[in-house]
């Protein structure tokens, strides 16, 4: 089986076939798809830790984006020691290491990135136009939101469509994250490009009590 087939197997979640491929091609985790993403990174995005465990041994050395997704602080530090610009390098799908650490909820990895010059307000190089705080909100990671706010992140920065982290938190019914963002200066009534407020997002997703509370602020 060609190593390029590994991406189909990951998408299918075919663990036994992947086990066979790894036995034949130990370094298959380093294989890249047409977009330049490694098989290991794809498995991480698919949240398949069983597949990650199979691919990772042959995928060393990790690149900084893989390290951020895995929460491997040592690998992040090695990358920035080799090249200080690596901390703000965009991945194949347009994210910095900080975006990725935030999305995967890896607090120590995010902190390592920040301590080595990561841009808090880096905008993803893809149509979503996300800042790291949007990635943290999308992943549902309140403690990462707190870390970013303590380091000066703008709680009201907007992604494509005018959406804020508060829109995301409200839409997912994450009450404590909503409180954290509001305490950090998020605007409760900031509207998206199509006029929707965080309360609107909460109500659309059946979080009526949260929507009512936001409207009363």
Please classify residue 1 by burial: count the beta carbons closer than 10 Å to its beta carbon, then call 0-12 exposed, 13-18 middle and 19+ buried.
middle
Confidence at residue 4, expressed as pLDDT on a 0 to 100 scale: 54
User: Quick one: pLDDT at residue 1?
Assistant: 44
Token pair listed for 97: 């290491």
Per-residue pLDDT tens digits for 94-137:
999 999 999 999 999 999 999 999 999 999 999 999 999 999 99
pTM: 0.95
Residue 42: DSSP 8-state: H
Give the relative orientation of helices 142-150 and 132-139 as an angle to the nearest 10 degrees: 160
Phi, psi (deg, nearest 5) at residue 185 = 105, 10
Burial (CB < 10 A; 0-12, 13-18, 19+), residue 34, is: exposed
Query: CB of 87 within 8 A of CB of 97?
Result: yes
Query: What is the C-alpha to C-alpha distance for residues 149 and 11, in angstroms, rounded to an integer?
Result: 35
Confirm if 122 and 130 have CB atoms less than 8 A apart.
Answer: no
- Counting as low any pLDDT under 50, the low residues of the chain are 1-2
The reported pLDDT for the residue numbered 173 is 98
Q: What's phi and psi for 209, nearest 5 deg?
A: -65, -45
- Both tokens of 213, joined, read 């509370």
- pLDDT tens by residue, 93-104: 999 999 999 999
- The residue extents of the domains of the chain are 1-59
């Amino acid at each position: 089986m060609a190593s390029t087939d590994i991406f189909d197997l990951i998408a299918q979640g075919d663990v036994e076939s992947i086990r066979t491929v790894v036995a034949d091609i130990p370094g298959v985790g380093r294989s890249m798809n047409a977009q330049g993403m490694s098989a290991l990174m794809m498995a991480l995005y698919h949240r398949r830790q069983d597949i990650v465990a199979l691919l990772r041994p042959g995928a060393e050395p990790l690149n900084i984006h893989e390290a951020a997704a895995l929460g491997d602080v040592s690998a992040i530090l090695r990358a920035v020691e080799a090249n200080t610009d690596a901390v703000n390098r965009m991945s194949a799908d347009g994210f910095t290491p900080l975006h990725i650490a935030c999305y995967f909820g890896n607090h120590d990895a995010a902190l390592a990135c920040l301590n080595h010059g990561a841009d808090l307000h880096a905008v993803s190089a893809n149509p979503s136009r996300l800042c790291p705080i949007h990635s943290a909100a999308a992943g549902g990671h309140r403690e990462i939101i707190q870390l970013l706010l303590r380091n000066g992140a703008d709680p009201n920065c907007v992604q494509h469509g005018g959406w804020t982290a508060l829109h995301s938190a409200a839409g997912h019914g994450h009450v404590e994250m909503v409180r954290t963002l509001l305490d950090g200066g998020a605007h409760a009534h900031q509207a998206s490009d199509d006029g929707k407020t965080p309360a609107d997002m909460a109500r659309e997703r059946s979080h009526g009590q949260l929507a009512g509370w936001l409207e009363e602020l």
